[in-house]
Amino acid sequence: MAKVSKVRPSSASSSPRKGNDDTLYLPTELNTPPTSLDDVFIMIYGRKNIGKSSLAAQFENNLTMMFEATRRNLAIFQVPKAGEPDLTWSRALKYQDMICNSDDFQRISIDTVDEAYQQCFIYVCKQAGVRHPDSASKPYELWMEIKAQFKEFVLTFREAGKGVTFVSHEKVKPLITKAKGLKRDDSPENTVKCDRIEPSCSGQVLDVITQICDYVFYYHFKDARRAIMVRSPSEIAWTACGMGETFCDPDGGLIESFEAGNDAPSSYEAIIRAFNNELYDMDYIPPPSNKIAALGKKTTPVKKKAVKKVARR
């Protein structure tokens, strides 16, 4: 296998990087978690044409890196512009350096992350002189190089203080799991087959996203209404909601899914309100009010006290 060289365009030297690895220190204060969705890594995935790209672009100061065919019908900031060449990995690296050294955009949408990884795959294989890692003399090393370059690309935005939204489609993945209380062997009677909805990106990408994403939202239709799932009942869909006490209802209960709007701005507003614990779950049934409860109670008639007759003299 030809030696893989991590050669980036000349402008890559301007990308921000942390200090040397040998600079060590012990913390003197607690880590402060982000308090805004603008500062975290998010995955939005769901069915095609539900509005994932438009929703991701609603975040403030967002720039979409459109790895899929340029969308002419969306009024968003995107690179490349309509009519320009498609976004290859080498062009993406050049755009990244421009973005990291600019204050105009504070959040990046990678749309779709499936195609972004595919461009990274093509780039690294071409550098190695092969069309596929399995054709290399050391396939495992080349697979790891592809994953490492993709992960470095993503984390470079974090080092520059940018938030990232990953956009992907959905797929159904058959799973074989062990039900609670069953024996630990692999016999058919001790396993349960089920389907789970996941992003359509490859396992390599999912490994990276699982490590770095703060939130994973499943954008879908529920009872003919747009909905965003942040916690999955019985793991029917892959979600993540693990940063602080967020996405709870006003009473402190955990939200599984909340209703999104009919367009991107209202759906984004719903995300912010749900993040701030201002919405109830879509299946929430409010308790009856005191007035209604009182009407439903059976009342016992009050017995009238007997009136003593006073005899006249």
- Summarised one tens digit per residue, pLDDT across range 156-215 is 999 999 999 999 999 998 876 655 555 555 565 656 677 889 999 999 999 999 999 999
pLDDT tens-place string over residues 214-241: 999 999 999 889 999 999 887 789 998 8
Q: Is 170 helix (H, G, I), strand (E, B) or coil?
A: strand
pLDDT band at 287 (very low <50, low <70, confident <90, very high): confident
Pairing of strands 78-79, 62-66: parallel
Average of per-residue pLDDT across 19-38? 80
DSSP letters, 20-84, are: -TT-----SS------SGGGSEEEEEESTTSSHHHHHTTSTTEEEEE-SS--TT--S-EESPTTS
Average of per-residue pLDDT across 84-97? 95
Q: How many CB atoms lie within 10 A of CB 269?
A: 13
Q: How far apart are CA 227 and CA 283, in angstroms?
A: 11
Average of per-residue pLDDT across 92-96? 97
Average of per-residue pLDDT across 57-66? 96
Q: Quick one: pLDDT at residue 4?
A: 46
The reported pTM is 0.80
Residue 277 burial class via C-beta count within 10 angstroms: exposed 0-12, middle 13-18, buried 19 and up:
middle
Q: How far apart are CA 271 and CA 197, in angstroms?
A: 21
Length of the chain: 313
Provide φ and ψ at 127, rounded to 5°. -60, -35
Domains of the chain (ranges plus CATH)?
35-171+200-283 (3.40.50)
Instruction: Please check the confidence at residue 278 and state whether its pLDDT lies above 50.
Output: yes
Q: Is 229 helix (H, G, I), strand (E, B) or coil?
A: strand
Q: How far apart are CA 111 and CA 52, in angstroms?
A: 9
| Helix spans in 5-81 (H) | 52-56
Instruction: Please check the confidence at residue 306 and state whether its pLDDT lies above 60.
Output: no
